[in-house]
Structure 1
Amino acid sequence: MITDAYFVQKIAVAPSLTVRGPPVSEVRQFRPRCRNRTYNGAAWVSTAHGVTGRSDRPLESALTDVAHEVTVGLGRQRQRRRLPWGRRTWAVTDEELQERLAWAREQIVRMGVLERPGGLRWAAAHGLVLFVWRNGPIEDAHASRPTRRRKNLSDGVMFARNTWLTKQAYDTLISRDRFRLYSLEDMILDREALWPGCDGTLTDFGRGFLGEIKKHVKQRIDTLRHFEKRLSPDDFLVFLAAPQIGTHDDHFGMPKWPACVEASISRLRGEDEEFLEKWGALMKKVGPAPESVSSDLQTTKKALLNAPWDLGSEVLDWFAWNPILKPPVSCRKRS
């Protein structure tokens, strides 16, 4: 079991580290290809921000360069998957990797990840889904218009799929099976399984991008498998959690998610006057909450906390298109 004492001990001996963000060519490897969209806690929405050459979020860039070097190495080194690793020495040394991990541990403690049971594993599951699934070709399908053969990959469908995969990743990280990551890979790439909370499969929503999705997922799983062998179990969780912990701490499974859900229920009851004054006009444009949400707020709250996909993609699409899940004022980022 990972405890605060483990991190305190690690941090005490950790050297100081200044992390430089990766160049644009590397950032593009890890960001959605739809450049003008960002995640608001529920779905990708339009934004004016573009990709810059240097990241102003150190947590995002701390391990991105490490994983990118391995990803590039995989493409050049391994023509077939699951073959033994060659004699090539990775550019990132163990010392450099441990420096980045030590810095990441500090941020994980600061962000409050360890304040609840299983917090680090949830953060690792979230980071795994980002790296393997969400920040990849599936975003191209999400940003593309539906066709006669491809169903609409709406924000609600993405909300349901991303949260469900995060839960599967969490369960995978509990398992001690040495091939657990490959089992998760098979689950992600299953073209026939119906997506929970949705009315389609990977084939239905990803047609036209299936080859790219398969290549991306397999390559990223191979990368993580390399680091899983290279790092201790605790350090591997830190490695998975670190890249996006600073910007995604209000997502499903992350430290601020319970507060966001509690705030949304309060707003649905009309109790947050400050929020309604600021965002009421936008929420009116989005429209009233679905009947299944407003008729039983306790059931809605339980589903959002534990299994958002159970609400269904249409209901989640409503949550995705308004700011009701924004973190409350009392849950602002820690300095």
Structure 2
Amino acid sequence: MRPPLPLPPADTTGRVPGMLLIRTGDDDEVWEDVLSRMGELPGRCRPDGTGLDATDSASVADSTDRTDTIPRRLVIAHEPAWRGAEPDEIAAALAASGTWTPDLVLLTDDRTTVNAELRPLLAFGPLMDSEEEDDEAGHDDEEEREVAAFWITPRQAAMAYLVLHQPCTSFHLEQFAEDAPIEPEWEVEDGDEVTEDDLYEPAGAALETRDDPPLYTRPHRPLPLLGSSLDLLVRTDFGDDAAWAALIATVSAPFPGSEDGYGDAIEFVDDPAFEGATPEQVLAQTRNRGSEGIIADVVVLADAVTLREPGSRVLVMPMTDDIGLDFRVRADAVGSMLPNLGLSNMDLDDFRE
């Protein structure tokens, strides 16, 4: 019989979003590789929720660190007693009353060991079913919810973790489950061995194979929250004020053939606290847009490339869909990109290409 999962007590004053990462394999090298790809994520805590697990050698942020200004929680279970655990068994353990329930559970798996390039993690979301769906299905709060499992890479899981506090989290997790289910891609005959070629590509494969994959690292100093009813364009390079002023003028310029522009609907963040901040750090500090629970599709950054190199190409950091899969667009395209994304007239791939 396995011991209880190392979960903190249930939240009493508003739920803290977060993830539970469980080591179910025996390979130390694979486990350390997974942790290194996820980065120094904020909010990692001991089971009692008080701070960093000092027994783990990975360099991660303490949940009591002042840089963790948005409450979130990452609990890591690496006790040998949970090696070899299956999703159904873990789901049953999570149903115990009085403990915090994560938004997403991540497990190392045989596939994590075999696929050294992507290190897929087996994931499921215990909170993915809404109360309305439970009522329609005849479930009550005491019954175990269905486990919707999928594959996800460590870096994609880390980027999703940074936006778990945002609205529509369950929608993004459901999209991962739809795109990368754990069932084989095609029917496997009885007795045949399931190989890597039979399985769906995990969510986040594009992030994992980039030459410059995203990685959250601890800021050198506390960063302020970024909250606004407008879309955000955040300055992270402060070497050329004239270039910044020119960028604002370009983004705010009227549309061709019109006296109107989109500049009044953008908040230009010119705060030296963000000097040198990475895209992942900015993403982690961004709250939802507006009081109606509306989430912006992206946060836009003006970094050293934007302000010091020809072309003034801003960096676009997605907060939905391919979360964290950043790309660049010309400054004069920002005024058309943001409203088209907000109205769902176009999607991120239209601009990424």
- Does TM, scored on the shorter chain, surpass 0.5? no
Greater relative contact order (CA < 8 Å, ≥ 6 in sequence): 1
- Between structure 1 and structure 2, the one with the greater Rg is 2
Q: TM-score, normalised on structure 1?
A: 0.30
Which structure is higher in strand share? 2
Which structure is higher in helix share? 1
